[in-house]
Structure 1
Amino acid sequence: MVLPEHLQQIDRDLIHLLSKRISVLAASKVPSIQEQLSGYRALLMQAGIPESTWSGIVAGCMAALASVPSCHQKQPSRRITVVGGRGAMGCFFTERLSAAGHEVSVLEHDDWDRADVLLGTADLVLICVPLKATVAVIRRVAPYLSHNTILADIASTKRESVEAMMECHSGPVVGLHPMFGPGVGSFLGQKVMVCPGREPDAFGWLLDLIEGDGGKLVPCTPDEHDRMMVFVQAIRFFSNFSLGTFLAEEGFDIEQSLEFSSPLYRIEVNTINRLLAQDAALYVDILLASDERCAAIERLVKTCDRLANLLAQGNRAELIHEFETARQAFRDDAGQALRETNHVINHLSAFLAADQVEHHEHIGRQAYDSCPT
């Protein structure tokens, strides 16, 4: 369906004004989001515009400052080979590197007869294969590389992969871990863990590219990374996996429950659904990636058992004590957590309202089309 011309013109005007707004923010001392939101409530009400719509525009403009093109120096084109470049994350990196002006090739399992060309002449070889295959692919790739080639990977565990790259390749090495899935369109607002291995000056341009696209780099050692991922990944995935399994076993009507729920509940169900929509082997391999992960999951289960026993006993006082103890660990971040979750809830509410309008419009069009002429 083609948008009406007057609506297209309004959209073009909005895009032009948003561009001017971002340029003004970039050229001045940037006021806080709260400062930019204040003072417009009456005007918004008068115009019939929800506050969440305006706050979304303000937050979006602030986010765009992270990737204002003029702030980042143009890099010379480099030859890059993405091993596993047709997979979900491989496609993401292939697209972003190509968009930055680099010459990107892909090496898949049926391309090894061209490995000498695809790997031997590359400035960067990026390993984007499933976790279980990463070390084996590193060992297979390394003999083809020149001494100056940067070897990098994006595996979700870093100790083994960085050690393998350092052992097999004498040139520049860096371990990366993007903390997002393939559903995003760019690095904007996304974190990438960086474990430098050797010759960091050689891959500075790659890190600059990620930052220039709005990403946030978090440097760490492989050991620091893997310790943190026990909780950031394994515990979280197992918790969502367990709850999803429980609801499935209960025969619970998840779709109907959304009609009875708050946006926050919907977010939690969507998080579980998002996990279960992914490749099962990928997430099981992440859970089984180390003894530390399995041991931490076992401790989580014991904690759940302890709390369940207190519930079974009706021990209200002890449950309140457990709650308050946990609260103390999170206390310092409570304000930020409320701000962030309120923002997400408000914008999800706006999205659902828009979705409902679109649904009713669709039903109306169907009814109109089915009417006899």
Structure 2
Amino acid sequence: MERIAIIGLGLIGGSLGLDLTRYGHPVVGIARRATTAEEALAMGAVTEAGNELALVSGADVVFICTPIDAVVATAAAIAPYLSEGAVVTDVASVKGELVPSLESLWPDFVGGHPMAGKAEAGLAVAEAGLFQGRPYVLTPTEATNPEALERVRAIATSLGANLCQCHPDQHDRAVAWISHLPVMVSSSLILACQGESDPDILALSQTLASSGFQDTSRVGGGVPDLGTLMARHNRAALLNALTQYQDQLDQLKTLIQAEEWDALYNTLTRSQSARPAFLGQRGG
């Protein structure tokens, strides 16, 4: 079994550890806080833990599971400790800005993004099987070592994830639509509702909110740090998505103002027909 190092023991890093230790890999976990390392060890997410980056020494594969803005600095910091032939991969939700820098730091780097987040963050919400049936995107380039790519592919496959492969820039444009834009839209929905000036109506709305509001507001109630980092590091693609979304809202507003009910019906019919293609076999 390959020796795995995981840097960053939050939701993703902790969940990776729970699966990989269960499959028999020796897993060393590295966290900023000693208490987090101890908790990961106690819950069985790692077989060894600490807060020194030098612990990556001897690892066959290293997962960088830090926040987006710390990935490159982390890769630079661990490079002196890595064994020749070690594979480094990340889990960041933005790739185009990161991959070139990471490839220049380590020849056997493979960009990765397991898409299995939650509204909550941290080791406490890590769970075994989190990646089962979820997309796991790999973003190789012309510089990617095929052997390194295959090793990361094998690990992702063992997690039960659905593998997808594309260029880093393609990844960022796609996740802007289906991940980053929904966070901004959902946040705007919550704040728009919160802006109701009549406190009685606001209280009644909060009382009546059920599955429809829960579904559409879920990601807007997530961790603010992550949403801010998504926007900061995928700015161009997100702005494009926001502009096109705003255009769609303007069109709906125009149809309703003009009482063009047939046109509105046709628009809603198109959206109803288009939705299943974005859900695959998941339904719901």
| Residue aligning to 1:79 | 3
Contact 1:288 1:294 in 2 (8 A): no
After TM superposition, the score normalised by the length of structure 2 is 0.77
CA distance in 2 between counterparts of 1:246 and 1:300 reads: 16
Contact 1:230 1:292 in 2 (8 A): yes
The alpha-carbon distance between structure 1 residues 335 and 79, as it changes in their structure 2 partners (threshold 3 A), is closer
Aligned-pair distance for 1:188?
1.8
Q: What secondary structure sits across from 1:105 in the alignment?
A: strand
Aligned-pair distance for 1:141?
2.4
Counterpart code for 2:6: V
Aligned-pair distance for 1:235?
1.6
CA distance in 2 between counterparts of 1:175 and 1:299 reads: 28
Aligned-pair distance for 1:83?
0.8
Higher relative contact order, chain-length normalized (CA < 8 Å, sep 6+)? 2
- In structure 2, the gaps of 5 or more residues are 35-49, 119-124, 197-201
Contact 1:135 1:160 in 2 (8 A): no
Give the root-mean-square deviation of aligned CA atoms.
3.0
CA distance in 1 between counterparts of 2:241 and 2:193 reads: 23
* 2:114 aligns with one of 167, 178, 189: 178
| Residue aligning to 2:133 | 189
Question: Which 10-residue stretch deviates more, 91-100 or 174-183?
Answer: 174-183
* 2:179 aligns with one of 227, 233, 249: 233
Asked if 1:210 is matched to 2:210, the reply is no
Aligned-pair distance for 1:218?
0.7
Tell me the matched-pair count: 253
Aligned-pair distance for 1:213?
3.4
| Residue aligning to 1:293 | 238
The alpha-carbon distance between structure 1 residues 135 and 322, as it changes in their structure 2 partners (threshold 3 A), is farther
Q: Deviations over 1:45-73 (max 9, x none)?
A: xxxxxxxxxxxxxxxxxxxxxxxxxxxxx
| Residue aligning to 1:223 | 169
**Counterpart mapping for 1:1-373 below 5 A:** 77-85=1-9, 87-109=10-32, 114-116=52-54, 118-170=55-107, 172-182=108-118, 185-186=128-129, 187-197=131-141, 198-250=144-196, 251-254=202-205, 256-258=207-209, 266-273=211-218, 275-276=220-221, 278-289=222-233, 290-311=235-256, 313=257, 315-317=258-260, 320-321=262-263, 323-325=265-267, 327-328=269-270, 331=273, 341=283, 344=284
CA distance in 2 between counterparts of 1:301 and 1:97 reads: 43
Aligned-pair distance for 1:211?
2.3
CA distance in 2 between counterparts of 1:106 and 1:283 reads: 25
Contact 1:119 1:144 in 2 (8 A): yes
Higher helix share: 1
CA distance in 2 between counterparts of 1:102 and 1:224 reads: 32
- In structure 1, the gaps of 5 or more residues are 1-76, 259-264, 345-373
The alpha-carbon distance between structure 1 residues 225 and 338, as it changes in their structure 2 partners (threshold 3 A), is closer
Q: What secondary structure sits across from 2:12 in the alignment?
A: helix
Question: Which 10-residue stretch deviates more, 295-304 or 185-194?
Answer: 295-304
Contact 1:175 1:196 in 2 (8 A): yes
Aligned-pair distance for 1:339?
8.6
Q: What secondary structure sits across from 1:151 in the alignment?
A: strand
Counterpart code for 1:115: L
Aligned-pair distance for 1:167?
0.6
Aligned-pair distance for 1:330?
6.1
CA distance in 2 between counterparts of 1:122 and 1:196 reads: 21
Q: What secondary structure sits across from 1:324 in the alignment?
A: helix
- Tell me which structure has the larger Cα radius of gyration: 1
The alpha-carbon distance between structure 1 residues 327 and 143, as it changes in their structure 2 partners (threshold 3 A), is farther
Counterpart code for 1:99: R
Q: Deviations over 1:217-272 (max 9, x none)?
A: 011111110111110112211111111112222224455214xxxxxx50541452
Aligned-pair distance for 1:292?
2.3
The alpha-carbon distance between structure 1 residues 330 and 193, as it changes in their structure 2 partners (threshold 3 A), is farther
CA distance in 2 between counterparts of 1:134 and 1:336 reads: 29
| Residue aligning to 2:37 | none
Aligned-pair distance for 1:338?
11
Counterpart code for 2:266: E
The alpha-carbon distance between structure 1 residues 193 and 257, as it changes in their structure 2 partners (threshold 3 A), is same
The alpha-carbon distance between structure 1 residues 243 and 139, as it changes in their structure 2 partners (threshold 3 A), is same
The alpha-carbon distance between structure 1 residues 254 and 84, as it changes in their structure 2 partners (threshold 3 A), is farther
Q: Deviations over 1:288-328 (max 9, x none)?
A: 322221232133224323432443x3x123x5335525644
The alpha-carbon distance between structure 1 residues 279 and 336, as it changes in their structure 2 partners (threshold 3 A), is closer
Contact 1:151 1:174 in 2 (8 A): yes
